[in-house]
C-alpha cells in the first residue's frame, strides 16, 4: 500500500480536491490501525462534509471500509438472501414483522441491526425486551439459522467494517454526522460486507428522520443505490415519510406488542402498508414474483417464522412483555380533528421516558415509551386520551411532557389531506 501523510490528505480535501484511490485506501487503513489520530480524521471528516465527494471517491471510501474487516458469505445457503436497512425514525418497528414475513416467502434475511441513540429507536433494544432473547450470534449460528428457516435479526460482529465503527463514533462528537458521503458509506460498507444478494433501503424523510428535506433524502438514496450497484448488489430505495410516527407506539416492549399484531394479521394500517411495500420490493429484488406477502400474514406463516426466530435466539415468544411501573395520560383540551402529530416530539418524549439512550452503552427501560390514541385525520373529543406516557420513574414525566408540548394540533380539519407514506422510489 502506498504511504501517504495525513496532513497531505486533509489539505487535498480541504482545498476542494478529489482524493486518489491510494490516499483513501491509506487513510482508512491507517486510521483503523491508530496511525492517523482522531483529530486528524475529524478534520478530514469536516472537509468532506463541506466539500463533498464524487461517486468514485465514495465508492472507494466504502470499499476501503469493507476491506478493514471480514466479509460474510451466504452463497452456500439453500435460498437467496435479501436485506433491508432503515435510516431510522420514531415508532419504526418494521424490521420486526418484515424479517419473518420475507423469510416465510422463501428468502433468507440476514438482518444485522443496531441499538437506538437519542430519539430514534433501536431494533436490538426492542427485541431485548423479550425475556431471554440474545442479540449476539456467531457467523456459523447465523448461517445455520438462515438455512433452517430464513430469518435472523442480530448484532453485527466486531469484525465487520471496523473502520466504520471508529469513524461513526467520531462523527457523532465532531458535528459531521450529516455528511452524505459518510452516511452512505457507513451504511453500505456494513451491508455489502454482510454479503446479502440484494438490498432495499428505507430512507426516512421528515421531522422525526435524520433527513428533514426530501431533496437531501433523495441525494442520500441515490448515493447508496449507486454504491450497491457498483458493488454488484441489487439495491432499491424507498423514500418514506417520518413527519408522523409509525403506528401507535414508540418504545421497546410496546413496539414488539404492536409488531405481533401485524404478524397476527391485524395492526396499524401504516405499519402494515410499509411492511408489505418493503416485502414486495425485497422479493422483487431477489427475483421472486410469484408470492404474495399479504397472504403470509393472513395464513400465519410469518408468525410461525417469528416464533422460530425468537426461540432459536433463546427468547420466550410466549412470555408476557415488560410493563412500566408508572403511567400518565394526556387528554385533548378541545374537540375536533387531529391535524398534526410530530414525530420528533414523540421520539424525544419516549427517549426522556427511558426508552432511549443519550450515550452508547446506557441502559434502556423495556416498558417505557409513548402510546398515542389517534392519528392525523382522526376525530377527537375534549377530554379524550391522546397520549399515554409510560416509564418506571415518575420524575421523567415532566421532561417528556415538555417534549410533547406543541407536538400536536387539534382543529376543524378543513383542508386536511394525509400525506402519502411512500414519497418516491430510487432504483
Axis crossing angle, helix 21-33 with helix 38-51, rounded to the nearest 10: 140
Q: Is 22 a catalytic residue?
A: no
Q: Which one of 185, 186, 207, 259 is the catalytic residue?
A: 186
186 is catalytic: yes
Query: Which runs of consecutive H residues, i.e. helices, occur in 77-211?
Result: 95-104, 123-127, 139-149, 162-172, 180-194
Q: Is 6 left (phi over 0), alpha (psi -120 to 50) or beta?
A: alpha
- Residue pair 251/264 in contact (Cβ under 8 Å)? The answer is no
Q: How many CB atoms lie within 10 A of CB 129?
A: 23
Beta bridge mates, 369: 251, 390
204 backbone φψ class: left, alpha, beta (φ>0; ψ -120 to 50): beta
Catalytic status, residue 215: no
In this structure, the chain runs to a length of 427
Identify the active-site residue in 60, 79, 85, 165. 85
How many Å apart are CA 220 and CA 226, to the nearest integer? 10
Could you give the CA distance from residue 307 to residue 93 in angstroms, rounded to a whole number?
Answer: 17
Tell me how far apart the alpha carbons of residues 261 and 267 are, in angstroms, rounded to a whole number. Answer: 5
CA–CA separation, 174 vs 37, rounded Å?
14
List 190, 191, 352, 396, catalytic entry: 190
Please identify which of the residues 171, 191, 296, 352 carries the catalytic annotation: 171
> 61: buried, middle or exposed (CB in 10 Å: 19+, 13-18, 0-12)?
buried
Catalytic residue among 83, 92, 125, 164: 164
Rounded-to-integer distance, Cα 62 and Cα 190, Å: 9
What is d(CA 404, CA 343) in angstroms, rounded to the nearest whole number?
10
**126 noted as active-site residue:** no
CA-to-CA separations, 301 to 46, 132, 279, in angstroms, rounded? 48, 23, 14
285 backbone dihedrals φ, ψ, rounded to 5°: -65, -30
List CB contacts of 100: < 8 A, sequence separation 6 or more.
151, 263, 302, 303, 304, 305, 306, 309
Question: Is position 164 annotated as part of the catalytic site?
Answer: yes
Q: Are 364 and 121 in contact (CB under 8 A)?
A: no
Query: Residues with catalytic annotation?
Result: 85, 164, 171, 186, 190
Amino acid at each position: 500500500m502506498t504511504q501517504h501523510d495525513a496532513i497531505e490528505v486533509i489539505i487535498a480535501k480541504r482545498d476542494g480536491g478529489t482524493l486518489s484511490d491510494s490516499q483513501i485506501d491509506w487513510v482508512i487503513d491507517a486510521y483503523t490501525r491508530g496511525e492517523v489520530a482522531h483529530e486528524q480524521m475529524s478534520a478530514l471528516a469536516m472537509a468532506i462534509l463541506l466539500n463533498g465527494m464524487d461517486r468514485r471517491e465514495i465508492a472507494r471510501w466504502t470499499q476501503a471500509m469493507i476491506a478493514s474487516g471480514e466479509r460474510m458469505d451466504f452463497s452456500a445457503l439453500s435460498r437467496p438472501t435479501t436485506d433491508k436497512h432503515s435510516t431510522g425514525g420514531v415508532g419504526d418497528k418494521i424490521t420486526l414483522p418484515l424479517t419473518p414475513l420475507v423469510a416465510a416467502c422463501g428468502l433468507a434475511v440476514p438482518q444485522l441491526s443496531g441499538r437506538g441513540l437519542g430519539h430514534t429507536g433501536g431494533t436490538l433494544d426492542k427485541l431485548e425486551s423479550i425475556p431471554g432473547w440474545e442479540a449476539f450470534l456467531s457467523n456459523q449460528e447465523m448461517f445455520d439459522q438462515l438455512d433452517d428457516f430464513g430469518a435472523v435479526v442480530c448484532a453485527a460482529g466486531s469484525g465487520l467494517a471496523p473502520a466504520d465503527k471508529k469513524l461513526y463514533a467520531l462523527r457523532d462528537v465532531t458535528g459531521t454526522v450529516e455528511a452524505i458521503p459518510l452516511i452512505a458509506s457507513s451504511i453500505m460498507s456494513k451491508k455489502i460486507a454482510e454479503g446479502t444478494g440484494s438490498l432495499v433501503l428505507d430512507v426516512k424523510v421528515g421531522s422525526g428522520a435524520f433527513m428533514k428535506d426530501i431533496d437531501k433524502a433523495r441525494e442520500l438514496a441515490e448515493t447508496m443505490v449507486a454504491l450497491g450497484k457498483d458493488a454488484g448488489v441489487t439495491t432499491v430505495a424507498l423514500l418514506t415519510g417520518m413527519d408522523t410516527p409509525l403506528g401507535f407506539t414508540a418504545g421497546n416492549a410496546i413496539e414488539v406488542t404492536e409488531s405481533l399484531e401485524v404478524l397476527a394479521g391485524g395492526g396499524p394500517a401504516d405499519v402494515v402498508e410499509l411492511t408489505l411495500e418493503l416485502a414486495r420490493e425485497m422479493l422483487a429484488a431477489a427475483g421472486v414474483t410469484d408470492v404474495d406477502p399479504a397472504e403470509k400474514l393472513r395464513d400465519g406463516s410469518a408468525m410461525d417464522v417469528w416464533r422460530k426466530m425468537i426461540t432459536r435466539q433463546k427468547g420466550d415468544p410466549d412470555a408476557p412483555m415488560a410493563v412500566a411501573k408508572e403511567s400518565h395520560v394526556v387528554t385533548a383540551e378541545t374537540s375536533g380533528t387531529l391535524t398534526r402529530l410530530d414525530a420528533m416530539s414523540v421520539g424525544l418524549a419516549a427517549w426522556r421516558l427511558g426508552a432511549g439512550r443519550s450515550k452508547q452503552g446506557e441502559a434502556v427501560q423495556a416498558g417505557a415509551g409513548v402510546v398515542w390514541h389517534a392519528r392525523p385525520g382522526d376525530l377527537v373529543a375534549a377530554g379524550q386520551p391522546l397520549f399515554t406516557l409510560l416509564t418506571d420513574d415518575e420524575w421523567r414525566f415532566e421532561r417528556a411532557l415538555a417534549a410533547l408540548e406543541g407536538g400536536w394540533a387539534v382543529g376543524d380539519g378543513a383542508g386536511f389531506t394525509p400525506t402519502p407514506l411512500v414519497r418516491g422510489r430510487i432504483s
